[in-house]
Chain A
Amino acid sequence: DIQMTQSPSTLSASVGDRVTITCRASQSISSWLAWYQQKPGKAPKLLIYKASSLESGVPSRFSGSGSGTEFTLTISSLQPDDLATYYCQQYNSYSRTFGQGTKVEIK
């Protein structure tokens, strides 16, 4: 099975900061990677698919990059509404896998 490892586990940043979250796959997954945002008590929300494609309606401050085994999610200018936990997910195989999550806190 493909394992997904995110770093850091927790991140604290100020409003306006550029924030980067990394996700590593245990084997190459090409660009078959998605990013989700989950706010407390809510279902996850799709942000990015195919590693770098922005889901409709998602603010342009969110971007994704990478291929193979290393991927990043970047928030160009952190906003108070971005307080959430972010998950990467691979879909290179029919058995999907999520990363363990990165909690973003606002300083």
Chain B
Amino acid sequence: EVQLVESGGGLVQPGGSLRLSCAASGFTFSGYWMNWVRQAPGKGLEWVANIKQDGSEKYYVDSVKGRFTISRDNAKNSLYLQMNSLRAEDTAVYYCARDLWGYGSGSFDIWGQGTMVTVSS
């Protein structure tokens, strides 16, 4: 079964750090771009970052540039999001999603269940 499972969410104080993980299974992880997407409580979807198959290209939404770092370990079939200098406005459910860029599309066909990050004192 093709699956993405996020972990690492939790409660963190403003200014703190957190590292999210996304474990992939059921497909050739190294063959796909991967993304992080977040959703603040009661709000819409916001794309956060993506990373190329070999990790050589990474892109971020302006609001997280310089604070968040996306990375991957193809040997472990895992995607990561290192989040530093966290702010209250980073509070959200964070999803990882598989990207079909390079396969005739750039849509996200597989999503994880999400992990909640709460930034509060």
Chain A positions near chain B (C-beta within 8 angstroms): 1, 32, 34, 36, 38, 43-46, 49-50, 53, 55, 85, 87, 89, 91, 94-101
Contact = CB atoms under 8 A, between A and B. Distances in A.
B26 interface: no
B44 A100 contact: yes
A95 B44 contact: no
Given A49-B100, A50-B105, A91-B101, A98 B45 contact: yes
Contacts of A89: 45, 47, 107-108
Output the residue of B44, B59, B95, B100 with the most chain A CB within 10 A.
Answer: B44
B46 A94 contact: no
Interface of B: 35, 37, 44-47, 50, 57, 59-62, 95, 99-101, 104-109, 111-114
Q: Sorted from nearest, which 4 A-B pairs have the closest CB atoms?
A: A91-B106, A34-B107, A43-B111, A49-B107
A36 B106 CA distance: 13
10 contacts: A43-B111, A49-B105, A85-B44, A87-B44, A89-B108, A91-B106, A94-B50, A96-B35, A99-B44, A100-B44
